[in-house]
A and B are shown apart, each in its own frame.
Chain A
Amino acid sequence: MIRLRDVSLKPAGVGQPVLHGMTLSIPQGEFRWLLGPSGAGKSSLLRLLTLGARPASGQMDILGTSVTGASRGALRNLRRRIGFVPQDYRLIGEWTVFDNVALPLRLRGRSEREIRQEVFSVLEWLDVAAYAHSRPTILSGGEQQRVAIARALIGRPDILLADEPTNALEESQARRLLSTFQELIDLGTTVIVATHNESLVREAPAQSIMLRDGTLDPQAVAP
């Protein structure tokens, strides 16, 4: 469950809030497209939802926890329940693909045996298992994107956020990814995908969050 009430986001050193008056509610296990022109605030909203920033004002509840007044420990536990596929992949270049993908499980204290099994399973599914012991820096954009997707999926998160997750994927891989998202939703995961890909949106019609100038475009919240 994600609930925002009159939330604004104002990064340090920026005069005007990049998000303001954000009020929305997404029940657990639902899918939303996050749409809007460049600079509308999609990445800022994802940053807020991945707990990369705290709201400047308003009330934000994620998975039953009030983010506004949460302790660092509570935020840390929440982060472990959120999977994120960033647009720039955000992989650690000095680590192997395996270590990058294994990280969320290691932070949860899972055994290396389990981790090995799960990491190879997801890497095989995304067709990048051959690069498990390579550094991500030698991979193509599409391969890096799949590694980032693997890292986001590996912990079976309660919330999955993705910023343009298909922009470097082939069409068939994009479709597979959409079907994976659907499987996760069936398992109770909330999925929010930011995209500019209109054909993808047409292929999987769902409710959208439309942003314009850092706030919700009320005309486009529901399709």
Chain B
Amino acid sequence: MSRRVSPGLRSGSLPLLVALMTLLAGLALAGLSGIQSLAAGWSQAARSAATIEIPTDIPNAPDRTDALVHALKALDGVTNIQKLSTDKVQDLLAPWLGQPVGSHKGLPGLSLPQVLIVAHAPGTDLTATVHDALPEAIVQEDLQWGQRLERLGTSLTGCAWLAVILIAAIVILSIGITVRRSVAAQKRAVDIVHSLGAADLTISSHIAGRAALLSFLGGIAGLILLTPLTTSLATTLSPFAHQSALPATFPTTLDGWWTTLSILPSSLLKELGALPLIAACLGWLTAQGVVLVWLRRLP
């Protein structure tokens, strides 16, 4: 026989509310993780690339360009040099110069530059080498783009954190309102137990224990709802995050879902796994607070 010393908490809509809030918090955390990962990847890529433009109207341009490529290849930290074809440069400049007409490249009287894309380790200085080999060439480091992407990533991360904090506040409010309603509904029972000499903590702990259990179950339900959404999100973001291990399409088998889930960042999986426990803790603390404050009104 259970040892009843205090009324519990009527479940009401608490598990459903917590499930939905867990879902929202999980999506915000997944979004946060995705944004951090994408921003870091883009920033890294941008910091590790430089564009060199070589005017084609200088004397002996092809030979001097080859000499520059050799000099760059000999440089420590340079990992790849890609020489863009004229067609590719034309395509890149098409928004500004318009599409080529017939065999004419660019605008009449305007010759297109030769473009080299140089991949290098962060911190590698190409400027001196380029200046020695081909002073007319212009080096554009993509560092500033990396910094802008970093700032963008930081802003988006801040927004995602704000969403997580707002959701936590809404969870606390929802639990608080639900507990207050439940306590109000059981006012008579609480009054009786109090009048027989039950300690405030005994009453509040019983109600808080039930609130924690219901919040935990709601959190688990929210996680179950979250799994397909997180997997879909991971699949959608994978091409941008260079995650070659992910399937290109939404997984349709259980194995496919598992594969997608298993390559999610372990920190994200830990955060998502902790959501039901966090919900239970919030439920317990909120219920304790609400009930203790309410009991203070009794003599």
A54 and B196 contacting across the interface, CB-CB below 8 Å: no
Indicate whether A17 reaches chain B with its CB closer than 8 angstroms. no
A84 and B199 contacting across the interface, CB-CB below 8 Å: no
Indicate whether A37 reaches chain B with its CB closer than 8 angstroms. no
* Mask of B172-216 contacts with A, CB within 8 angstroms, 1/0: 000000000000000011011101111110100000000000000
Which chain A residues lie closer than 8 Å to B191 at the CB level? 90
Number of residues from A at the complex interface, CB < 8 A: 29
B195 and A112 contacting across the interface, CB-CB below 8 Å: no
Also in contact, A77 and B197, with CB within 8 A (given A52-B299, A54-B299, A92-B189): yes
Which chain B residues lie closer than 8 Å to A208 at the CB level? none
B199 and A76 contacting across the interface, CB-CB below 8 Å: yes
CA of A78 to CA of B199 in the docked complex: distance in angstroms?
12
Also in contact, A104 and B197, with CB within 8 A (given A75-B299, A92-B7, A112-B3): yes
CA of A64 to CA of B93 in the docked complex: distance in angstroms?
97
Interface centre among B191, B192, B197, B200 (most CB of A within 10 A): B197
CA of A95 to CA of B4 in the docked complex: distance in angstroms?
8
B243–chain A nearest beta-carbon distance, Å: 53
CA of A103 to CA of B4 in the docked complex: distance in angstroms?
7
**Is the interface on chain B under 10, 10 to 19, 20 to 34, or 35 or more residues?**
10 to 19
Which chain A residues lie closer than 8 Å to B195 at the CB level? 50-52, 79, 84, 90
Indicate whether B1 reaches chain A with its CB closer than 8 angstroms. yes
Which chain B residues lie closer than 8 Å to A92 at the CB level? 7, 188-189, 192-193
A49–chain B nearest beta-carbon distance, Å: 12
* Mask of A93-107 contacts with B, CB within 8 angstroms, 1/0: 011001100111011
Main secondary structure of the interface of A (DSSP, over half): helix
What is the number of contacts between chain A and chain B, taking CB atoms within 8 Å?
55
Indicate whether A80 reaches chain B with its CB closer than 8 angstroms. yes
Which chain B residues lie closer than 8 Å to A116 at the CB level? 1
Closest to A104 in B: B196
CA of A37 to CA of B196 in the docked complex: distance in angstroms?
28
**Quick one: which of A54, A80, A112, A151 contacts B197, CB cutoff 8 A?**
A80
B186–chain A nearest beta-carbon distance, Å: 8
**Quick one: which of B1, B193, B199, B299 contacts A103, CB cutoff 8 A?**
B193
List residues of B (282-299) whose CB comes within 8 Å of A's CBs: 299
Which chain B residues lie closer than 8 Å to A174 at the CB level? none
List residues of A (95-137) whose CB comes within 8 Å of B's CBs: 95, 98-99, 102-104, 106-107, 112, 116
A74–chain B nearest beta-carbon distance, Å: 11
Indicate whether A53 reaches chain B with its CB closer than 8 angstroms. yes
CA of A13 to CA of B244 in the docked complex: distance in angstroms?
71
Which chain A residues lie closer than 8 Å to B197 at the CB level? 76-80, 104, 107
Contacts A51-B299, A92-B188 known; list 15 others, CB within 8 Å: A50-B195, A52-B195, A54-B299, A72-B200, A75-B299, A77-B197, A78-B197, A79-B195, A90-B192, A91-B192, A92-B7, A103-B196, A104-B197, A107-B5, A112-B3
User: What residues make up the interface of A, taking CB atoms closer than 8 Å to B?
Assistant: 50-54, 72-73, 75-80, 84, 90-92, 94-95, 98-99, 102-104, 106-107, 112, 116, 151
